[in-house]
Structure 1
């Protein structure tokens, strides 16, 4: 069995993320069917817990490559809780409500927000993760364009975990 199907054509959840960034340069969204009792917090926890080994390896390689440029590095760790201020993989949880979790990171080259929601989709409940990115200078655009294919692979792989 192939597991849950990740959809990239879902309507993004951007309002609060765009507001917190003051605008955006990139938006991407993945969605996956989730059990009926899943909350945004549960979806976030499931999606971000125990990242696949290849994701951990990619992030370690990324950290080694960008550290000389003064960019923030962050370990990919499974979150113990999903509460404001807590680490959530390479980012921090910014806001938590019953229906939405927003996490993000600000760096000198770009800032991003990830918004996790569970909502009613066309086929029932769906967990949705929207990433909103704002470049701060040309280096941010160049950096994101370089990692963008990996970003999409990582989100799809982790969204499948959010469905479990």
Structure 2
């Protein structure tokens, strides 16, 4: 995995202390990414429509508008709209491989003494000019959106 991170065209990482120390990595994923506001879901649907015109595989509308939450997951199954690539008690890695880029979203649970935190990271490997242009266009929205979703999850007591 370190090689993947070093080779990435784009990467970011955000840390948040958990108020609910007993959360699993799947619970943290749910708390952050399954409670998107409706306006954000519509933006994602618009983005999906636009990139699908270029042959990019996108999640279906139901996976965006009404994501399914379960208590138990396995590698290969989807959590929200993304297939799970790796799952342990300390980390969940989901993402998607596509013609323009591959991305991975990681949620790591970190315990340091009495403090329990999560680290949410994104890594993107681009395959062509379209992937690089796409990342440049969405980067500011991605950064703002992930921080917004984490902050909302903390403010509402989901994390």
Could you say what secondary structure the match of 1:71 adopts? Answer: coil
- How much does 1:83 deviate? 2.8
Provide Cα deviations, 1:126-150, integer angstroms capped at 9, x if missing partner: 1111000001011101011101111
Which consecutive unaligned segments of at least 5 residues does structure 2 have?
none
Are 2:78 and 1:91 aligned? no
CA distance in 2, matches of 1:148, 1:122: 34
Aligned residues, how many?
148
Could you say what secondary structure the match of 2:7 adopts? Answer: coil
CA distance in 2, matches of 1:73, 1:62: 9
* 2:43 corresponds to which of 37, 58, 79: 58
Which consecutive unaligned segments of at least 5 residues does structure 1 have?
1-13
Following TM superposition, where does structure 1 have runs of at least 4 consecutive aligned residues deviating by more than 4 angstroms?
Answer: none
* 1:110 corresponds to which of 86, 93, 101: 101
CA-atom RMSD, angstroms?
Answer: 2.4
Could you say what secondary structure the match of 1:70 adopts? Answer: coil
Q: CA, structure 1 residues 118+88, in 2 after alignment: closer, same or farther (shift >3 Å)?
A: same
- How much does 1:52 deviate? 1.6
Other-structure match for 1:31: 15
Are 2:133 and 1:142 aligned? yes
CA distance in 2, matches of 1:102, 1:29: 13
Q: Which moved more, 1:113-122 or 1:62-71?
A: 113-122
**Matched-pair contact (CA < 8 Å) for 1:93–1:103:** yes
- How much does 1:123 deviate? 8.4
- How much does 1:39 deviate? 2.3
TM-score by length of 2: 0.81
CA distance in 1, matches of 2:117, 2:123: 19
Provide Cα deviations, 1:92-128, integer angstroms capped at 9, x if missing partner: 1111100000001011000000110111369822111
Are 2:25 and 1:40 aligned? yes
